[in-house]
Structure 1
Amino acid sequence: MADNLGKSSEEATQFCPATKYTSISLTNVQYTKGDFIGYVLAWSSLAPIGLIVVFMTLIVFRRDLHTISYFCGIVINEGCNWVLKHTIREKRPQRDIAVLFTEYGMPSSHSQFMFFFATYMILFLFIRIYRNYNCLDDLWKYLTAIGSLTVACVVAYSRVYLGYHTSSQVLWGGIIGIILGCIWFAAVQVVLTPFFPYVAASHLGEFLMLRDSTLIPHVLWFEYTSTRSESRNRQRKVTSRKSQ
């Protein structure tokens, strides 16, 4: 995921006379100058960074143990990718430009990251979240699952299109991401989830305001109705005080 970071912007704009490259500001994700598809795919390859920001925001503001476990799985997945890259040591494809990324490319960290994320998300949607009798009520789950898988495929394709990885490196990254996503979801469901109530009720859990929403079938609806009910109760108290 961090393959394209760590070099100066001056290096990012160097190019061979045969092919002119440019980069997205501050990221050094390169694409052929004037190539609109390359430009779009270069932006799509930043999806892992965006997802990490989203996870950190959710963890800080929601403190949900399942979200924290999901993010821990992503960190473990990245660690596995690093170990595999430095064990296999397969080179990246040749490019007519100075190297702006880590030396090894097997498996693709972008592909592994995104397919881990998509796999876990799909399993979470259809196993962890309750099911409705009406399929239309579950339409959002199908759309989210399709969207996650589509973004993963686009990011994986972008790594080949932009010349950062070979097709086999991206393919194996996706396969490993899917396998690790399944394993980590099973570990969270079977091994970690039973401990969530104890973690949330511990002194540290109360201090950090950690939440266990495992037994709540629809967290968003629960939070919405709870907030609305509390708001109405407080409004009644305010109105009652003013009338006295």
Structure 2
Amino acid sequence: MEEYPPLASLSLTHVHYNPADRISYICAWLALVPQGLCIVYATLIWSNREIEICLMFAGQLGCEAVNWILKRYIKEERPREMHGKGYGMPSSHAQFVAFFSLTLTFFLLFRHVPHPTETHTPFTFFQRLLLSLVTLAFAAAVASSRIYLNYHTPKQVLVGCAAGAVFAVVWFGFTTVLRRAGWVDWMLDTRLARTGRVRDLVVQEDLVDSGWARWEERRVRRRLEEKKRR
């Protein structure tokens, strides 16, 4: 009888939770947020080609690299109740969402200055602040879920949040220097960036309104042509 090699589980989306506990079930879905955000990153980069999103994603990858190094340097085990593999200090989920939420908050409050147009009024500063608070609260929920599911101790989650927050501050400062020194403009003028249609509009242009004026102009022109044909 032919023997097959033992199978392994791909732990990327393999989450342990208590099926009798609804909160545990919700926490299991929250554990998939980092993977979902990576899909959002890839989708936005492909569809919008915005340099700001590319820079944020580059920082997110850098933050993950720092987490990988810290885990293998500290070598602290996960809680005893956890059946998974790998080190637990610091929590990669907590570090991921802390960086994402804080970087998005810094962008919305300090870098994003959208101008109103004839067709759209962008979010006010208060609305952007409210959105930032919602993002931070959502990040806190993801981080807390790691404790509830016994994947990490509270200390591991707190250190992960701190590491993500520190890296977010450092990365935002770094990208600010790149912008003020003209390096971002230089990157956008390179042949590679122009071939990839990379642009820098989201700082002053609301994503909701992006391309809307051109679409409205095209739609009105098409309607007028249809009336003339009648």
User: Higher relative CO (CA 8 A, sep ≥ 6), structure 1 or 2?
Assistant: 2
Q: 1:128 aligns with which of 111, 116, 125?
A: 111
1:74-107 alpha-carbon deviations (Å, 9 max, x no partner): 0000000000000111111102x6x3232x1111
How many equivalent residue pairs?
217
Q: Within the alignment, does 1:100 sit opposite 2:88 as a pair?
A: no
1:7, distance to aligned residue in structure 2 (A)? 4.6
Residue in 2 that maps onto 1:8: 9
* Unaligned residue ranges in structure 1 (runs of 5+): 1-5, 13-25
* Greater alpha carbon shift after TM alignment, 105-114 vs 219-228: 219-228
* SS class of match (2:124): helix
- CA pair 63-217 structure 1, distance change in 2 beyond 3 A: closer
- Show the 5 A alignment for 1:1-244: 7-8=8-9, 27-95=13-81, 99-102=83-86, 104-130=87-113, 137-192=124-179, 194-213=182-201, 216-233=204-221, 236=224, 238-239=225-226, 242=229
Query: How many angstroms apart in 2 are the aligned matches of 1:234 and 1:202?
Result: 36
Coordinate RMSD, CA, aligned:
2.7
Identity %: 31
Query: How many angstroms apart in 2 are the aligned matches of 1:148 and 1:188?
Result: 21
- CA pair 75-216 structure 1, distance change in 2 beyond 3 A: same
* Unaligned residue ranges in structure 2 (runs of 5+): 1-6, 116-122
1:193-233 alpha-carbon deviations (Å, 9 max, x no partner): 63333333332222111112266353433532233234434
CA contact (8 A) 1:216 1:222 kept: no
- CA pair 228-197 structure 1, distance change in 2 beyond 3 A: farther
CA contact (8 A) 1:63 1:210 kept: yes
1:162-205 alpha-carbon deviations (Å, 9 max, x no partner): 11101100000001101101111111122156333333333222
TM-score (norm 1): 0.79
